[in-house]
Structure 1
């Protein structure tokens, strides 16, 4: 039956890509119009469009997204949201899934991709990881995003987790930003995106419901750089344990 599953997985992948392209063509004009605005209006309007787009697209590909823990986002407060990263699907799940205006941190190379580049320029702080100046400037830009009343959504694992473990080790950046700005951190955990896009399989996908859960915020006011390792470890353990407790039930 493996051959049958492989065929179905590739047929489904074709269906998903065709539907994505068709819906994207519908969204291009309004997204282009929004791209002419200035922040924070530009990002907020873009996310309204993205949420509407994904609210239609994800159920049509049989991958509805269900969220839990939205009550942790308090009106008027801005957060640094740290999420696990298992799949290319994580970005269209997390950016629209985090309530309110938000931006992600993305590689500058993504801005060069036709059409997608326009979206990344709107919804992301872009960084050239080979440039010390760009990395420093990106920190200032993320602080500016927070000061505009928007959240920063970051993947502290850096790259997609292709291991068999719930998480890869975290980098310091998200936690250093939280300490420097005094913003609380909300851990976010995405379940099942790896089941949809199986690592190591090319042009293959399987539909599955997605869960996006938020954990209670962790305050960072009063912390300094010496507290960074403990803060990072605390959130890593929180996310690891939550994933371990709920992954089987949500599979």
Structure 2
């Protein structure tokens, strides 16, 4: 995996202090910690309903000492912001091409020589959507890694890491259980998030 702001010596220490202070001043509470067995894992990022989710996610990642990478549409990686987005942990995804993103992501996680957490929003968009995409699930299954149920709740100003979820291979039952867990959280634009 490429070097990011989270793996740049000195910078990551300074930004962790800044993130903790900023979240505290803004009234947010950071909960949970990353268990050792999840140093390589797939993160669900939900609810994802606002552009504000990215900065809050980055602040929380520093506070929790994570090594996150996230997927974003290719348009945000264009000049002049492409280098910055990659340094923030971004991986461009071209949604117009039918390439095997699941296999490529799983392989990248398996061969990474250090801790790496791949953050994937199951809705795939900030807009309202009824169906969750299952890419995060199949990446975890293929890479044989746990799923971390990460959350952000705007009304209560909570951000953190929930329990680990080990996929069984029964995608319908597993997705139903995951969605039940997320029913307790609300995004910034709560009408755009569904856990049904």
**TM-score, normalised relative to structure 2:** 0.74
Q: Which residues in structure 2 correspond to 1:138-217 (within 5 Å)?
A: 139-141=103-105, 143-145=107-109, 147-148=111-112, 149-162=115-128, 168-192=130-154, 210-217=157-164
Partner SS state of residue 2, structure 2: coil
Which residue is equivalent to 1:234? Answer: 177
As a proportion of its length, which structure holds more helix?
Answer: 1
Q: Deviations over 1:132-162 (max 9, x none)?
A: 13xx257414531454220011110111255
> In structure 1, what is the Cα distance between the partners aligned to 2:144 and 2:102?
18
- Whether the 8 Å contact between 1:80 and 1:185 is mirrored in structure 2 is yes
What CA distance in whole angstroms lies between the structure 1 residues aligned with 2:3 and 2:57?
18
Paired residues, number: 177
| Conservation of the 8 A alpha-carbon contact between 1:82 and 1:155 | yes
Q: Is 1:80 equivalent to 2:42 in the alignment?
A: yes
The Cα offsets for residues 211-246 of structure 1, whole Å up to 9 and x where unpaired, read as 1032110123xx44xx12222221111111x328xx
Judging by fraction of residues, say which structure has more strand: 2
Higher relative contact order (CA 8 A, sep 6+): 2
Q: CA deviation at 1:43?
A: 4.9
Query: Which of structures 1 and 2 has the bigger CA Rg?
Result: 1
TM-score by length of 1: 0.60
| RMSD (CA atoms) | 3.0
SS of equivalent to 1:44: coil
CA 1:176–1:141 in 2, change beyond 3 Å: closer, same or farther?
closer
Match of 1:101 among 54, 67, 77: 67
3-state SS of paired residue (2:164) = coil
Gaps of at least 5 residues in structure 1 are 1-37, 196-208, 245-251
The structural deviation recorded for 1:88 is 0.9
Match of 1:119 in 2: 84
1:243 aligns with 2:190: no
Q: Counterparts of 1:235 and 1:74 in 2: how far apart (Å)?
A: 22
Q: Using a 3 Å threshold, how does the CA distance of structure 1 residues 234 and 138 change in structure 2: closer, same or farther? A: closer
Could you tell me which runs of 5 or more consecutive residues in structure 2 were left unpaired when the two chains were aligned. 187-196
| Counterparts in 2 of 1:231 and 1:40: CA distance versus 1, 3 Å | farther
